[in-house]
Structure 1
Amino acid sequence: MKKIGILLLCFVAATKTFAQTPEADKILGLWLSEDKTGKIDIYKANGKYFGKLIWGKTMYEPDGTTSRKDVKNKDEKLRSRNLRDLMMLYDFTYHDNAWDGGQIYDPYSGKTYSCTLKLKEEKLYIRGYIGVSLFGRTSVWERVK
């Protein structure tokens, strides 16, 4: 009986060790923005993908500890929230090698855009747009190692 238990334990451990990350979860982790001024943590919650700002060159006041606020937000009620841990990417789902259906918030302009994310060769291509993807801009983020 002990042998069966040990074999079962070894099987479970081996399965976890060799299990591959589902395609959709390959986006998870830390990413550096194209201009290298922000670090974004992409994570999964309730089957959707989100990203929050965890570091930025201009994230703190001159004292180095007080988080700057989201002062450019179009919604006056949200202008008092901290830039630290600010949600920038939200509500993405994975379909056909892309994450879509979500939005990206730009704290530098205070604007929110529809967005599509694509992963190619460990680079994340972020296409933000208004209305139609044709009328947008693509930014390329690098994975933080």
Structure 2
Amino acid sequence: MGSLDREQTIESYTMKFLVLSLAGILALPSVAMANPHDVFGVYAVEDGTSHIEIADCGDGTPCGKVVWIDPESIESGLAPEEVTSPATGEPVLGLTILHGLRQARNDWRGGTIYSPSVDRTYGARIRQLDSGLLEVKGCIGPICQTQLWTSVER
């Protein structure tokens, strides 16, 4: 192989490498990365005992309400429609438990989340993860407990 052939071969490989590299770079934006603010949908809470629908509160911010309660998780003799909040006596089914959030750089925060099972309200932060799970944090001051909610069909 002559010197000229070797240079042409190297040049050919270099050009192929550059073209494939450019194609790879251009394909990167198409990789599925979740928008952390795209939190709207229906989710099963971490222990599977209820489903929460997160929808627009009417001002573009997310609100979450209980849309399903697992009958197996309720005291015997009660139907899901009969479960009430200890604080208000309101039915838990249809109860808005998540509201008051504002959009931050990488999540929604500043709102509150109510846990009917323990009758407590916590500071709330939520965001969509790349895995498709919804990260939900209930906080008392700087200390937070995280749950991962799974998207479900309604």
TM-score under structure 2 length normalisation? 0.67
Q: 2:112 aligned with 1:67, yes or no?
A: no
Higher helix share: 2
Q: Which runs of 5+ in 1 are unaligned?
A: 1-22
Name the structure 1 match of 2:90: 81
Count of residues in Structure 1 that have an aligned counterpart in Structure 2:
115
Contact 1:116 1:127 in 2 (8 A): yes
> Who wins on radius of gyration, i.e. which is larger?
2
Give the Cα separation in 2 of the matches to 1:36 and 1:115: 20
Query: Is it true that 1:38 corresponds to 2:47 in the alignment?
Result: no
Aligned equivalents of 1:98, 1:51: Cα separation in 2: 15
The answer to whether the 8 Å contact 2:37/2:128 transfers is no
Q: Percent of counterpart pairs with the same letter? A: 24
Shift of 1:47: 2.3
Among 93, 96, 120, the residue aligned to 2:102: 93
Q: Which residue of 2 aligns with 1:113?
A: 122
CA contact (8 A) 2:37 2:107 kept: no
Match of 2:150 in 1: 142
The structure that is strand-richer by fraction is 1
Task: Return the alpha-carbon distance in structure 1 between the equivalents of residues 40 and 116 of structure 2.
Answer: 21
The Cα shift of 1:94 comes to 1.8
